[in-house]
Amino acid sequence: MRILQATALVAVAGLFSLLVWRLTHQSHPPKIGGPAPNFTLSRLDAGGKLSLASLRGKPAVINFFASWCEPCKAESKVIEDAWRQYKPKGVVFVGVDYHDVTSDGRAFLRAHDITYPTVQDGSGMVGDKYGLTAVPETYFVDAQGRLVGSHIVGTVANQQDKFFAGIKAALDS
């Protein structure tokens, strides 16, 4: 009986320690107006890596998605169409494939005719820097590297006014 109690006590202490660690190490979303968290990730759409810092001087739209995410599939056409519309104005779109397998991410790009630069965040570390709660989520970055507009949680397909206002904020800053 004592062994069972001791085992239960150790298990509860371990769970409590995990809870305390998670609460003290939880990432917080970056603030609008503050710097966009930088990242350098491997590209899914081409070889090499892409760094957010390399886009300084250009407005950017960062869309976190995953191949297994149904709302991400639904919004893919809206984002691709916006990329084609705003690319001549210098806006760069970056897809960030979050917690996904490389082959599934590439299959998603092919299935949805995605042509904008896309990187892989397989570990989720970049998503953590942005305080991601789920996919899809979209951020807007001005030419100075600051977050602008409104961060969109959920599909942009259902929030198109907010999405295009975010692109405008990135362009106008």
> Does pLDDT of 114 surpass 90?
yes
Decide the pairing of beta strands 137-141 and 60-65: antiparallel
Per residue in 54-101, pLDDT tens? 999 999 999 999 999 999 999 999 999 999 999 999 999 999 999 999
> Does pLDDT of 6 surpass 70?
no
User: The whole model's pTM is what?
Assistant: 0.84
Per residue in 124-142, pLDDT tens? 999 999 999 899 999 999 9
Count of other CB atoms within 10 angstroms of residue 156: 24
Per residue in 22-36, pLDDT tens? 555 555 678 889 999
Q: Which two tokens stand for residue 160?
A: 């198109």
Residue 134 φ then ψ, to 5°: -170, 175
Q: What is the chain's mean pLDDT, rounded?
A: 90
Sketch out the chain's domains with CATH numbers: 29-172 (3.40.30.10)
**Amino acid 15: pLDDT:** 62
2 pLDDT tier (thresholds 50, 70, 90):
confident
Residue 5 φ then ψ, to 5°: -65, -45
Distance CA 42, CA 40 (A): 7
Q: Which two tokens stand for residue 140?
A: 């807007």
Q: Provide the 3-class DSSP secondary structure of residue 93.
A: strand
Per residue in 78-88, pLDDT tens? 999 999 999 99
Over the range 115-154, which residues count as b (16 or more CB within 10 Å of their CB) and which as e? ebbbbbbeeeebbebbebeebbbbbbbbbebbbbbbbbee
In the chain, where do the E strands start and end? 40-42, 49-51, 60-65, 92-98, 118-121, 137-141, 147-153
